[in-house]
Every structure is written in structure tokens, then in C-alpha cells.
Structure 1
Amino acid sequence: MNQASKIEIPVEEATAAALSDVRRLEAVGRLIDRLVQPGADDPLIALFERTAAEAEAAGLTKAEVEAELAAYNAERRA
């Protein structure tokens, strides 16, 4: 790692508490560095695109996928 920079990322309270462990926080930083490589294709976006293509190939409509995501999000908030 060349030079470290600090950023703020909103997370749930339990996650923030877990990241008070310096070793865990550093590991997460390394993971983010690998996940978000400037200038490289974003692997997270690529994953979303592959998942969307697979859902479409399986015959799911965009509306059905959005409805499933909305139901999942509502269930997590409950």
C-alpha cells in the first residue's frame, strides 16, 4: 500500500463495533483496496452485471427482480 487515506463508510452499529479491532479494520482496508482498484474493472459491478444477466436468462423480468429486492430489504428492516 502506497499511502493510506481515511474514508468514512456508513455501516451498522455492530459492524462499527467489530471494526474497533485494529487488525480487523486493517484487513477490511486491504479487502477494499483489492475490491476497488482504480483504473481496473470494478469486480462488484461485474458481479451485479453477471447476476442480472443470469436472472434475465432464467426468464425473470426487471420488475420481478426489483420486487424480490424490495421484499428482501423490507424483511431486513423488520
Structure 2
Amino acid sequence: MGAALKKDMVLVMPVWDDHTANMLWLDGPYPPTKDASAPGVARGSCSASSGVPSDVESHSPNASVIFSNIKWGPINSTFTQS
């Protein structure tokens, strides 16, 4: 993790229901029609059948998230190092 944090990073805040791609673009094989061993297809450990909105909603019907105190800017510009 330390080595990864030395590189530029991107914050991804997922949407709750992804009726187009079932969130596979974030943490599964995407596009699911391609071989998961092809470069760039495997994006995480979730299966190609995961993330279906009706499944997600039935398992966690009252789930919510609040994003707050979000900062953005060039790398190393959004905090004070102590």
C-alpha cells in the first residue's frame, strides 16, 4: 500500500445502482464479454454476475452513504503534512 500511495491516485465514489454495467467497471471484469485475463479487463475480485441492482437493493434496502469534507487538487495540495 505504501508504494501505491507514492503514485498519483484517483478517488472513485461509486453510485448506488448501476443499471448499465452493474458496477463491474469498478471492481469486476469489465467489459464482462471479454476474457478476464486480457489486459485491463480484471479490475477487482468481484464476479461478473455481481452488482445487479435488484440483488443489491434486496440485500441492503436501506443502505445510504454520505460523502463530506471532500477536497480536490493537485497531488499533495489538499492537506498539511505534520
Fold shared by both chains (TM-score > 0.5): no
Q: Which has the larger radius of gyration?
A: 1
TM (norm. structure 2) is 0.25
State the structure with bigger RCO (CA 8 A, min sep 6), 1 or 2: 2
